[in-house]
């Protein structure tokens, strides 16, 4: 799948071109696009092939059976097509008409060349790439359509996105993943702990039916891919502390009953002022429900420009800094555990606010235990997350690390600064992706002022805002190794808070 499409939800003809480039690689190599049985650096065919092409090791990606018959000139032309199809920027990819023209040329070279690659290759064969867009054979070339008037359509999930649902894309690429076993073993240890039953309450289904007035529609406070959220009041209590949030898994939920049970076991390990702790749960037959503290001010996305209603006051600049610091503190805690946990889906709707705007980070079912070994910097797993927040390196390679959360936090910082949604198809086409649109403005004081949330009415420190923008840019670095840790992010935010002065 085209990484640009996953990150921005924009689809064009060039989205198909990228996918076709992957198909060409599969044909050339004789292996699937993702194979978790291979060494980590070879599991993603695209990532491995690009590295081989850059280093002149094209022979390592070719099916051994083809080496005996493929002609060098044909291979060179074929590789040119693949390289162009897989370019990161859609506008730089060729059209399918141009791809067809080059494939025909590769076929002609295969039919007419006298020697095969095996005859010419000595183990150090290097393909010389030339720009196919400048080749005279490209006639009647199609104009680029990405970001232009020929966008083919919107993702079917856009409507859900507009209505406030979580839009997830899960990839089931591998039949087996050792990390799944590790996670299940960890969950099993937790659930068998002697203190487990004493630390959280087990509710009956009938108790939670009473608490939510039989899951009355007007008590519904949210809905997402993981279930429906209801406001509830525990029986026998009349004080405000008895208010709870009840999450009920539905048949339409994207995760299974087993996933919910694993989520409950993981939540048991998390106890921190900025993490949404589990009060209790219900596990009866096919029903699985979570009970959390009721967060009066809801999720952070309800308080920003794009979704705020008339009854919600704008968040002040100082409060925004405090909220971001609290989120960073919660993530830094998760990352600092003896067995660090990667959130994997941190976003505005997972940041909950109580009556005094204290932050509680909600952890998803697919949060992930990171490697225990210091030599291991990531795990290889199926890609999971939300459009607009997914780490591009994780998307391209399947390598999930603590720095994947850092990228998502960078997106959140930009949303808090601008008051705008990370992905919004209702904005002008070139502005659909907030990060693509604003990245160049984050380091320019004059341009940056234009993208700051107008609801702040100028009541913020430009120096502090620019520091926050610079921090966001560091978090959004394309390579994981170039991003700061969440501990470093927290330290920088605390420094910004301490020096913040409203001009």
**Is it the case that residue 424 has pLDDT exceeding 60?**
yes
Same domain, 349 and 257: no
Both tokens assigned to 340: 């660090």
Same domain, 239 and 212: yes
CA 126, CA 75: separation in Å to the nearest integer?
11
Number of domains into which the chain is organized: 3
Which entry of 166, 345, 405, 424 is annotated as an active-site residue? 345
- Of 274, 293, 312, the last residue of a domain is 293
| 131-177 per-position pLDDT tens digit | 333 433 332 333 232 232 222 333 333 333 333 333 333 333 333 33
Residue 345 annotated among the catalytic residues of the structure? yes
DSSP for 128-194 reads: ----GGG-TT--SPPPP-TTSTT--EE-TTHHHHHTT---B------S--HHHHHHHHHHHHHHT-T
Q: Which of the two residues, 343 and 373, has the higher pLDDT score? A: 343
Same domain, 322 and 281: no
Same domain, 424 and 441: yes
Same domain, 264 and 305: no
Same domain, 313 and 416: yes
- Of 244, 276, 293, the last residue of a domain is 293
Number of neighbouring beta carbons within 10 Å of residue 261: 16
In-domain check, residue 270: yes
Give the CATH number for residue 246.
3.30.200.20
Q: Structure pTM?
A: 0.65
Torsion of CA 373, 374, 379, 385, to 10 degrees: 120
| 322-352 per-position pLDDT tens digit | 999 999 999 999 998 888 888 888 999 899 9
CA 414, CA 421: separation in Å to the nearest integer?
9
| 387-410 per-position pLDDT tens digit | 889 998 888 887 888 999 999 999
Same domain, 126 and 209: no
């Amino acid at each position: 799948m085209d990484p640009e499409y996953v990150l921005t939800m924009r689809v064009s003809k060039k989205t198909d071109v990228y996918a076709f480039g992957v198909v060409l690689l599969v044909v050339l190599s004789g292996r699937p696009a993702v194979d978790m049985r291979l060494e980590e650096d070879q599991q993603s065919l695209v990532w491995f092939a690009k590295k081989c092409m850059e280093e002149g090791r094209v022979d390592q990606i070719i099916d051994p059976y083809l080496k005996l018959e493929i002609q060098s000139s044909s291979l060179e032309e074929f590789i040119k097509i693949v390289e162009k199809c897989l370019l990161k920027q859609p506008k730089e990819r060729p059209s399918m008409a141009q791809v067809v023209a080059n494939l025909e040329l590769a076929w002609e070279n295969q039919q007419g060349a006298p020697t095969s690659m095996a005859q010419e290759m000595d183990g150090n064969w290097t393909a010389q790439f030339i720009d196919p867009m400048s080749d005279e054979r490209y006639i009647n070339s199609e104009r680029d359509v990405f970001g232009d008037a020929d966008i083919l359509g919107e993702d079917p999930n856009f409507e859900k996105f507009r209505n406030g649902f979580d839009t997830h894309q899960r990839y089931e690429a591998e039949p087996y993943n050792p990390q799944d076993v590790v996670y299940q073993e960890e969950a099993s240890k937790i659930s068998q702990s002697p203190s487990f039953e004493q630390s959280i309450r087990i509710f009956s289904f009938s108790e939670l039916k009473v608490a939510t007035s039989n899951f009355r529609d007007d008590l519904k406070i949210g809905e997402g891919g993981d279930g429906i959220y209801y406001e509830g009041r525990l029986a026998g209590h009349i004080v405000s502390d008895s208010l709870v949030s009840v999450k009920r898994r539905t048949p339409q939920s994207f995760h299974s009953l087993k996933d919910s049970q694993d989520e409950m076991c993981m939540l048991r390990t998390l106890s921190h002022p900025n993490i949404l702790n589990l009060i209790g749960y219900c596990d009866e037959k096919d029903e699985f429900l979570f009970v959390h503290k009721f967060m009066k001010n809801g999720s952070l996305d309800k308080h920003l420009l794009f979704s705020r209603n008339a009854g919600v006051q704008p968040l002040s600049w100082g409060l925004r800094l405090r909220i971001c610091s609290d989120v960073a503190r919660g993530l830094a805690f998760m990352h600092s555990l003896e067995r660090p946990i990667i959130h994997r889906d941190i976003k505005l709707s997972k940041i909950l606010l109580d009556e005094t705007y204290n932050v509680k980070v909600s952890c998803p079912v697919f949060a992930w235990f990171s490697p225990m070994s210091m030599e291991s910097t990531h795990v290889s797993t199926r890609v999971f997350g939300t459009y607009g927040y997914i780490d591009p390196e994780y998307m391209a390679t399947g390598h999930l690390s603590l720095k994947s959360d850092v990228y998502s936090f960078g997106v959140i910082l930009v949303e808090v600064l601008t008051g705008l949604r990370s992905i919004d198809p209702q904005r002008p086409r070139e502005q659909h992706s907030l990060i693509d649109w604003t990245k160049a403005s984050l380091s320019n004081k004059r341009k940056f002022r234009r993208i700051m949330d107008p609801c702040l009415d100028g009541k913020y420190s430009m120096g502090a805002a620019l520091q926050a923008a610079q921090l966001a840019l560091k978090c959004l670095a394309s390579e994981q190794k170039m991003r700061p840790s969440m501990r470093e992010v927290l330290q920088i935010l605390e420094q910004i808070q301490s020096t913040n002065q409203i001009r």
